[in-house]
Structure 1
Amino acid sequence: MSDPLVRPFMLTGGRTEPVIDGLRVESQLRAAPAALSAPLRFEARRIVELCQRPRSLADLSAALLAPLGVLRVIVGDLLTEGYLSIEEQPGELSVDLIERIRDGVRAL
């Protein structure tokens, strides 16, 4: 946020920790169908608008020019209230796959 009119702590009600722990920057978020008609304001409204198709937390941060920490708090609230959901994500990469990627990069 370059030269913000509203300080980040005002957007989160002074909170610095999200209600949902472990939200990753690559987490794909999607708005619930009814979320557009919800009585949301400011950044929460914009997040719901942007998440009509899956968006990562990092994408939202860039689109809103807001720090990731602020977005984690707001997104955590929206997830808790049922306005957003996290799309199914693949699990951790296997050691075998990581080693094959490493070997492929070394071959370059």
Structure 2
Amino acid sequence: MSGDGQGRSHWFDDEAGPVVRPYAMTRGRTTSAAQHRLDLIAVVVTEPGTGDPETDPTLSPEHVDIVGLCRDEPQSVAELAAELDLPIGVVRVLIGDLVHAELVHVSRPVPPAELPDESILRDVINGLRAL
């Protein structure tokens, strides 16, 4: 008991309601098969033709929320964690589940090393201006 005099356990917050530990949402898992691809700026996109995830009994409410958020527009892992108010590690595991279930896919932004050099872009701009 929390010692608040009312017999409430320390697992209850008057403002937030019952506290659910992050490991309960991930069933104790800390990684997923897709974990290596899920950095903060990886973008999560709902697969085309994805039905209603609410009818899938294997999905948690958090899984359903992720699919719903990504259905409207692609979201980064960091945006999803902020929107759902969940730790990044939990969101990564949940997204990994959704990738495995083929409900979402993850695309990565172009790495900086693969972006064109600034001098090449300046040459292109100068060439266009000369036209």
Structure 1 length-normalised TM = 0.76
Q: Does residue 1:11 correspond to 2:25, yes or no?
A: yes
Query: Which structure: larger Rg?
Result: 2
Give structure 1 stretches of 5+ with no counterpart. 98-108
More deviation in 64-73 or 13-22? 13-22
Q: How does 1:80-95 map to 2 (within 5 A)?
A: 80-87=100-107, 89-93=109-113
1:77 and 2:91 correspond: no
Does residue 61 (structure 1) correspond to residue 81 (structure 2)? The answer is: yes
Structure 1: which 4+ aligned runs deviate by more than 4 Å? 94-97
- Residue segments in structure 2 that go unaligned for 5+ positions in a row: 1-15, 119-131
Task: State the Cα deviation string for residues 7-57 of structure 1 (Å, max 9, x = none).
Answer: 100000000112212311101111123434131331000000000111000
Match of 2:39 in 1: 24
* 1:35 counterpart SS class: coil
Check conservation: 2:39, 2:77, Cα contact below 8 A.
yes
Percent identity (aligned)? 33
The structure whose RCO (Cα within 8 Å, separation 6+) is larger is 1
Distance 2:86 2:93 in 1: 11
TM-score by length of 2: 0.64
Please provide the CA RMSD for this pair. Answer: 2.3
Shift of 1:88: 5.4
Instruction: Indicate the SS of the match to 2:105.
Output: strand
